[in-house]
């Protein structure tokens, strides 16, 4: 029987040809660690996903801007149509009131606009004016076929162009829109009359236009 020497421990048998380092266990890889090739692939995948998200965001932003522009155009179109409908409705209403305003004008010319009738008539004219109705047509203004309707025609020596000499029925407009032309009597210059100068005197005929009243040569 052999006695064990105290202080010495038995070492495990090492196979022949193996180094001491081979006998020691290797450390396990840290959890979550990935090879270098896998990291590059993950980075490329994340970059591709980011590009896709940016592209989708740009498309959604463009869609939102286009939708907002269409909505603004729709609002402007609706507002424009609303104003047009309102103007047409006001014009139709005031057109129906024109005969009443004509009667008021004739009553005023004949001195019949008195008492309560005068107050009502003036109130009606005030309301019509607030709604944009404007009366036009004055004696002495040049005739304009776009706003005047000639019912009578004559010649006058004291006019230099076609002139409104009498207002038979006033015209009315709303803003720039004429709802009834002024019905007028017009006068034109006398045929063959010499045109008047700015100071009111007549121009003398040109020298070539004068006839030679001398004796004719035989």
User: pLDDT tens-digit profile of 89-127?
Assistant: 999 999 999 999 999 999 999 999 888 899 999 999 999
What tens digit of pLDDT does each residue of 18-50 get?
A: 554 554 555 555 555 555 567 888 888 888 888
pLDDT of 130 over the 60 cut:
yes
pLDDT interval class at 145 (50, 70, 90): very high
In sequence order, what E strands does the chain have? Answer: 133-136, 148-156, 163-169, 171-174, 177-180, 182-189
- Give the torsion sign (CA, 137, 143, 145, 146): negative
Strands 177-180 and 163-169 turn out to be unpaired
Task: Please check the confidence at residue 68 and state whether its pLDDT lies above 70.
Answer: yes
Mean pLDDT of 56-73: 92
Q: Distance between CA atoms of 91 and 66, rounded to whole angstroms? A: 37
- Dig out the tokens for 80 from the structure: 């424009």
pLDDT at 175: 86
Instruction: Let me know the angle formed at the C-alpha of 36 by 33 and 38, rounded to the nearest 5 degrees.
Output: 80
Share of the chain above pLDDT 90, in %: 51
More confident residue, 177 or 3: 177
Per-residue model confidence (pLDDT) at position 212: 45
Find which of 10-19, 177-186, 205-214 is predicted with most confidence, using mean pLDDT: 177-186
């Amino acid at each position: 029987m052999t006695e064990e020497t105290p202080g010495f421990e038995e070492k495990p048998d090492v196979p022949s040809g193996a180094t001491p380092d081979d006998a020691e266990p290797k450390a396990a890889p840290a959890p979550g660690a990935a090879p270098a090739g896998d990291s590059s692939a993950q980075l490329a995948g994340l970059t591709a996903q980011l590009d896709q998200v940016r592209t989708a965001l740009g498309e959604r932003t463009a869609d939102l801007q286009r939708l907002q522009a269409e909505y603004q155009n729709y609002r402007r179109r609706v507002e424009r149509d609303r104003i047009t409908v309102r103007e047409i409705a006001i014009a139709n209403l005031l057109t129906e009131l024109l005969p009443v305003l004509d009667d008021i004008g004739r009553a005023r010319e004949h001195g019949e606009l008195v008492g309560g009738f005068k107050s009502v008539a003036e109130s009606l004219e005030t309301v019509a004016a607030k709604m944009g109705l404007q009366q036009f047509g004055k004696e002495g203004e040049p005739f304009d076929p776009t706003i005047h309707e000639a019912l009578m025609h004559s010649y006058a020596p004291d006019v230099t162009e076609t002139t409104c000499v009498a207002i038979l029925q006033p015209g009315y407009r709303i803003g720039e829109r004429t709802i009834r032309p002024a019905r007028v009597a017009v006068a034109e210059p006398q045929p063959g009359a010499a045109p008047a100068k700015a100071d009111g005197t007549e121009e003398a005929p040109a020298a070539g236009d004068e006839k030679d009243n001398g004796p004719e040569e035989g």
